[in-house]
Structure 1
Amino acid sequence: MTETSSAPGGRLSLGQGTALYVGAVLATGVIALPALAADVAGPASLLAWLGLAVVSAPLAATFAALGARYPDAGGIATYARLAFGDRAAAIVGWCFYLSVPVGGPAAALWAGGYVEGALGGGRSTVVATMVALLVIVPGANAFGIQVTGRVQIALAGLLTVFLGLAVALSLPHADLSNLEPFAPHGWQAIGPAAALLVWSFVGWETVTYLTAEFRRPARDVPRATAFAVIVVGVIYLSVAFATITVLGPRAGDTAAPLGDLLAIGLGGNARVLAAIAALLLTFGAMNAYYAGAAKLGAALARDGALPAWLDRGSSAGEVPRRSLAVLSAMSMTTAAIVVAARLEPQSLVLLTTGLFVTVYAVGVAAAVKLLPRRSGARFAALVAQGAVVVLLLMAGVYLIWPLVVTIGALLYLRLTRSARPVERPQP
């Protein structure tokens, strides 16, 4: 087993890579989850935020080490294949690939809620926003990773400034007495709150599917990860703290905490600005996820875990348009189900969380096996492994969905394994 050369080959710069990480992890959860977590656990939800921020550091370090060492469009699926074989690669690949058509519409629904709050129009505005995002994001990705990276740099800068502004303007109105009682629903409520907040910290695995696109993966992937960990951790904790201390008892009742924080800070109705922030956050997160998942789909097809006609675009510099089209079609199918059944984003989020936790479990286990013994990266993987066990326990019944996906992946391999020879690049 040899490592991929770290010689330049891709097109992503350090800045673009950092922006992709920030966009993937600083996801749509920040526009709604501070309020939802406060409703579940009160001020004690801050401990859930802090715990997940701490846990995300070794997870990020683990995936950065793997991405720098084995840059490939297959990402975690490639690491799983190197560590455990084709079946594990297919399972983890399917789990991530199928998470995007479920999570994408959920994220777009949240953004639609902010737009509806600013413009009115009821459910029609929410649905129209969702559909628009599900069209625009794949369309932007169809132009290639350089365009995606440039767009992401602009988005990351705007988002960082905007969220910082929301916190800075509202904090003078903070009241520390709003931290009492600290655990109104009991300490046990921190667990369910953390299960919701997992959505906000997934994303470290997303850029592993794009590591081959970096100009210098061995150098730039760890650096981009470190910068993103700091930015994301500071922003999440600041927004959560402001939501609790500024909004007080109504923190758990608001559907648009950022809008309320801005309204308080600016002394007026700032829901239009909040809607803009929600759209930017959602576009940034979806942009990174669709880019990574499209690359993954092409790599899975290259490795025999998806139909062969999807394999175009798996190499660095190529655009996986066929895989992107399949993701778009599945996302639109989910959107149609959402409209017909009048589903809310929370149910989709928890389904997606089960898939993400499964991806993390396999990816971290692969890291423990692949990374050099007595290295800092392997120590981070061991720490992350303990954290993932806790996340699996919190996912509970929502692990049924990844179980169904696992069965589907294994059946596909069984039915097609002798259909054609598979030629893979050697990491």
Structure 2
Amino acid sequence: MNLPGGIWSTRDASDLVSDTEDSEHSLQRSISSVGLTAMGVGAIIGTGIFVVIGEGAKAAGPAVILAFVLAAVTCLFSALSYAELAAAVPVSGSAYTYSYATMGELVAFIIGWDLILEYGVSVAAVAVGWGGNVNAFLDSAFGVRIPDAISTSPEDGGVFNLPAVFIVMAITFLLIRGTRESAKANLIMVGIKIAILVFFIIAALTSFDPNNFQDFSPHGTSGITTAAGLIFFAYIGFDAVATGSEESNNPGKDLPKAIVGSLVISTLLYILVAVAAVGVAPISTMTDSKNSDAPLSAALEAGTGLSWASALLSLGALIAITSVVLVILYGQTRIFFAMCRDGLLPRSFAVIHPRYGTPARLTLSFGILISILAALVPLSEIVKLVNIGTLFAFVLVNIGVIILRRTKPDMERPFRTPFVPVFPIIGVLLCLYLMTDLPGTTWIRFVVWLVVGLLIYVFYSYGHSRLRTRDRDQSGTAA
């Protein structure tokens, strides 16, 4: 096995696109521009805005508003790079596929393996959070709760997290049923959660007090920067739009609009919600530890006296989390599908169901594995892998834009990132800065996972890669 000679092999973008024409291993184009944008908003607006704003307020005070702006700008540079590559290489796989076309097979495998973990852990963690929000909603609306024995993991004092299993398997069967149906369901959920956030903004403005903005930045620039680092992860999710490249009706036009558009829509909502939350009640309301699980509800109730608003915002959080589970699980299956189709993982998983037009076997397998993880394992520590995995993917996508501009200058690009290489370099530096702030244990787990992946690549993926099996087949035919 001559590993050093072939691990940097790249695949031409046209070659990657031609693989999508194989009917047995190709996905159906069925998602509109609106559906793609809703995917991005669905993945971005989750528990982040309902919970993380309180943590950001602790660090920055009322200047948490600026922290939302700074975090959005940080994401924008990477979003522009994603938009260019998604339009130029409209194939499932997101950062994995782009790395294959620019930096070679080994780098592509590493980022694909990384994204499988990132998305899988994210879905499991969000599903656990969904179970917690079910109890919060039932408690605030009806005064009842699901017993801890069947709503928490063994380590948290329960036996089995039934709500988490329910939501993962429900979304799994929806994804198996069809991409068009899944996109429609997500669009409805996105509409509802946006409506609930708009309600919060309007209700808060009726009791708006400008005095709450005094001592605007109590901890100075460092507080804003710290808060931006926390809030950054409320923006993660726009990259999931790129996993829908192959199922987009018009990828060249729709993907850039959806990636950048979903980030802009979410940013505007986040900033308006932050302004309303600071204005409706003293900042101490959101930073109080007893309100850490529902800072928006606490602020609205304290400022307006709307006690029933807590139940409404709990419902909003529940719907928000459901759409996140849908979009992130969808993204994970498409990345794994692309790796299987390329032969880096078992190709049998890349078979499309003849009736539903989806990778049903693969989707069901992931649904079961993630359900087990969500039911039995507390994810308070391992979920940190989501952060480092996302930032690592962002770094490679930004680098990929620079490389592809140099190696394929005449390649058709329906969307072009402005000011290359300056903008991608800024994107890389911002991501690296945030990565340095992650704890050492996160880096250790990340490296262990990558080592496991490298062993799989050496002993399985390299020999089964379509780059080499196709070459061997062609050599045999020629002989």
Whole-Å separation in 1 of the counterparts to 2:79 and 2:286: 30
2:124 aligned with 1:105: yes
Whole-Å separation in 1 of the counterparts to 2:215 and 2:405: 45
2:90 aligned with 1:71: yes
Count, aligned residues: 420
Whole-Å separation in 1 of the counterparts to 2:258 and 2:225: 30
Q: For 1:160-219, what per-residue CA distance to the aligned partner results, in whole angstroms no more than 9, with x for missing partners?
A: 211111111112323333334344456434444333223211112212111110111001
* Contact map agreement 1:27 1:281 (CA 8 A) in 2: yes
Whole-Å separation in 2 of the counterparts to 1:184 and 1:95: 38
Change (3 A) 1:266 1:73: farther
Q: Equivalent residue for 1:277?
A: 316
Q: Which residue of 122, 138, 155 maps to 1:119?
A: 138
Q: CA deviation at 1:128?
A: 4.0
In structure 2, give the amino acid aligned to 1:298: F
Q: Which residue of 293, 300, 325 maps to 1:286?
A: 325
Q: Equivalent residue for 2:246?
A: 212
Q: Which residue of 218, 232, 244 maps to 2:278?
A: 244
* Contact map agreement 1:115 1:125 (CA 8 A) in 2: no
Q: For 1:384-424, what per-residue CA distance to the aligned partner results, in whole angstroms no more than 9, with x for missing partners?
A: 22322222223342233322222122111101145435269
* Contact map agreement 1:166 1:265 (CA 8 A) in 2: no
Change (3 A) 1:162 1:413: same
Whole-Å separation in 1 of the counterparts to 2:256 and 2:198: 25
Q: Equivalent residue for 2:294?
A: 256
Whole-Å separation in 1 of the counterparts to 2:33 and 2:224: 36
2:67 aligned with 1:48: yes
Q: Equivalent residue for 2:184?
A: 150
Query: What TM-score, normalized by structure 2, do the two folds share?
Result: 0.79
Q: Equivalent residue for 2:213?
A: 179
Q: Is the partner of 2:358 in helix, strand or coil?
A: coil
Within a 5 Å distance, the mapping from 1:162-241 to structure 2 comes to 162-185=196-219, 187-241=221-275
In structure 2, give the amino acid aligned to 1:283: T
2:433 aligned with 1:390: yes
Whole-Å separation in 1 of the counterparts to 2:213 and 2:338: 48
Q: Which residue of 11, 14, 17 maps to 2:36?
A: 17
Q: CA deviation at 1:258?
A: 3.4
Whole-Å separation in 2 of the counterparts to 1:283 and 1:18: 17
Q: Which has the larger Rg?
A: 2
Whole-Å separation in 1 of the counterparts to 2:226 and 2:377: 24
Whole-Å separation in 1 of the counterparts to 2:461 and 2:110: 14
Provide the alpha-carbon RMSD of the alignment: 3.0
Change (3 A) 1:417 1:102: closer
Q: Equivalent residue for 1:330?
A: 369
Within a 5 Å distance, the mapping from 1:252-401 to structure 2 comes to 252-253=287-288, 254=291, 255-263=293-301, 264-265=303-304, 267-313=306-352, 318-338=357-377, 344=380, 347-371=381-405, 376-377=417-418, 378-379=420-421, 380-397=423-440, 398-401=442-445
Q: Is the partner of 2:177 in helix, strand or coil?
A: coil
In structure 1, give the amino acid aligned to 2:171: V
* % identical aligned pairs: 23
Deviates more, 1:351-360 or 1:169-178: 169-178
In structure 2, give the amino acid aligned to 1:87: L
Q: Is the partner of 1:165 in helix, strand or coil?
A: helix
Q: Is the partner of 2:68 in helix, strand or coil?
A: helix
Whole-Å separation in 2 of the counterparts to 1:261 and 1:99: 32
* Contact map agreement 1:25 1:201 (CA 8 A) in 2: yes
Deviates more, 1:4-13 or 1:181-190: 4-13
Whole-Å separation in 2 of the counterparts to 1:110 and 1:223: 30
Q: For 1:313-344, what per-residue CA distance to the aligned partner results, in whole angstroms no more than 9, with x for missing partners?
A: 499x83122222232233223224435xxx54
In structure 2, give the amino acid aligned to 1:45: V
Change (3 A) 1:162 1:395: same
Whole-Å separation in 2 of the counterparts to 1:42 and 1:262: 17
Deviates more, 1:325-334 or 1:1-10: 1-10
Whole-Å separation in 2 of the counterparts to 1:66 and 1:224: 13
Whole-Å separation in 2 of the counterparts to 1:334 and 1:151: 25
Q: CA deviation at 1:85?
A: 1.0
* Contact map agreement 1:302 1:423 (CA 8 A) in 2: no
Q: Is the partner of 1:136 in helix, strand or coil?
A: helix
* Contact map agreement 1:301 1:309 (CA 8 A) in 2: yes
In structure 1, give the amino acid aligned to 2:374: A
Whole-Å separation in 1 of the counterparts to 2:405 and 2:182: 30
Q: Equivalent residue for 2:7?
A: none
Q: Is the partner of 1:73 in helix, strand or coil?
A: coil
Deviates more, 1:2-11 or 1:96-105: 2-11
Q: For 1:91-130, what per-residue CA distance to the aligned partner results, in whole angstroms no more than 9, with x for missing partners?
A: 1111111112211232233333333233233745564433
